[in-house]
Amino acid sequence: DFTEMMRALGYPRLISMENFQTPNFMLVSEVLLWLVKRYEPQSDIPGDVETEQDRVFFIKAVAQFMATKAHIKLNTKKLYQADGYAVKELLRVTSVLYGAMNTQGGERADLPEEDSSKFKFDLGSKIADLKAARQLASEITSKGAVLYDLLGKEVELREARTESIARPLEINEAEKVMKIAINSVLEEVQKTKDMLNNVALDEANLEAKIEKRKLELERSQKRLQTLQSVRPAFMDEYEKIEEQLQKQYSTYLEKFRNLTYMEQLLDDHRRTEQEMFEEAANMLRLIQNRLKEEEQHLLKSGSNDDSDIDIQEDEGSDSEGDLQIMRHRISTEALLQGRVGTRIMGSMQGGDTEED
């Protein structure tokens, strides 16, 4: 029924019940917005349903609109579910629009799809008349019920009325009733006068209190002016101490800035010394490695020279003194050839033995 009604109302797309097997909030929101626009084109309901808050606001706005304009109460929870239960709520709105279309002779069903936007229900101007008609109908019902009750008592009231009319009027009784009424009116007048007198007394009391407060206010203002005009005895000392404090504060700021600057310079100096120390340590390490390599090279060259001297000694040397002189000379020449300008630690005297 819902799909057929929507097709008859001229909804631009086809709807099947399979669309509502799973929650489809986008389709439900689109259908609701289309129905609201068909019911009142001048409505300003926002169509943004991206976030959860927007969806809740949209459902509440549509339900409030239908409740105030069309007097259709919708279940917001079922509409928010956007499943088969939401179709039942949508069917309430579509059935109203479908019934209104049928009352106009079914002319809407014969219109082509391109002219569907021209078919509009303008019920906004009739809402006030509808409310007035409902109020009048309720008043007529209540008044009719009261009139029916009164007419039911007409038999008894008719007899009492005829007896009252037929009974002769007694002057004494009428005078007594009038005196009672006059006395009651006089009592009410006296009560009113007493109340007026009490109001006058209250007004006088309030005026006296206001005058008293004004006098107190004037005295307080005068006292305040005298206190402001009088200079305290400790004010001079306070100003002097304030000036000294200002000077001390400026001195403190200057020293603090200087101390911060000196600490920064000290940190830079320590950083520079650390870098220089690291560079010197690296240079010293490189020099030590180079000296070790040169010593190893000298040791190797010295061993080769000793082998040559031994060979010459085997061939025939005459004296040990000549051999020592030759060995010392060869070792000196080897040292001079291996490293020029190298500092050699030791003495120029030879040992007593060959090992020394």
**Could you give the percent of the chain with pLDDT greater than 70?**
78
Q: How far apart are CA 164 and CA 174, in angstroms?
A: 14
pLDDT at 316: 45
Q: What is the DSSP letter of 82?
A: T
pLDDT at 250: 95
pLDDT in tens, 43-68: 777 777 778 888 888 888 888 888 88
> Which candidate, 112, 105, 75, places its Cα nearest to that of 90?
75
Residue 262 has pLDDT above 90, yes or no: yes
Of 340 and 161, the structure prediction assigns the larger pLDDT to: 161
Threshold 0.85, pTM exceeds: no
Tokens (6 digits) for 350: 């030879």
Tokens (6 digits) for 224: 């305040």
* 111 CB-side CA count, 13 A: 18
Of 97-106, 109-118, 280-289, the one with minimum mean pLDDT is 109-118
Query: Please, is 74 exposed, middle or buried when counting C-beta atoms within 10 Å of its C-beta (0-12, 13-18, 19+)?
Result: buried
| CATH class of the domain comprising 1-103 | mainly alpha
Average pLDDT over residues 106-114: 46
Of 156 and 140, the structure prediction assigns the larger pLDDT to: 140
Report yes or no: 58 and 45 within 8 Å, Cβ to Cβ: yes
**Could you give the percent of the chain with pLDDT greater than 90?**
23
Q: How far apart are CA 306 and CA 298, in angstroms?
A: 12
Domain ranges for the chain: 1-103
Q: How far apart are CA 123 and CA 41, in angstroms?
A: 10
Helices (H) and strands (E) in the chain, counts: 10, 0
pLDDT in tens, 162-179: 887 777 767 787 788 889
Amino acid at 11: Y
Tokens (6 digits) for 47: 């169509």
Instruction: Map tokens 């003495």 to a residue.
Output: 347
pLDDT at 116: 45
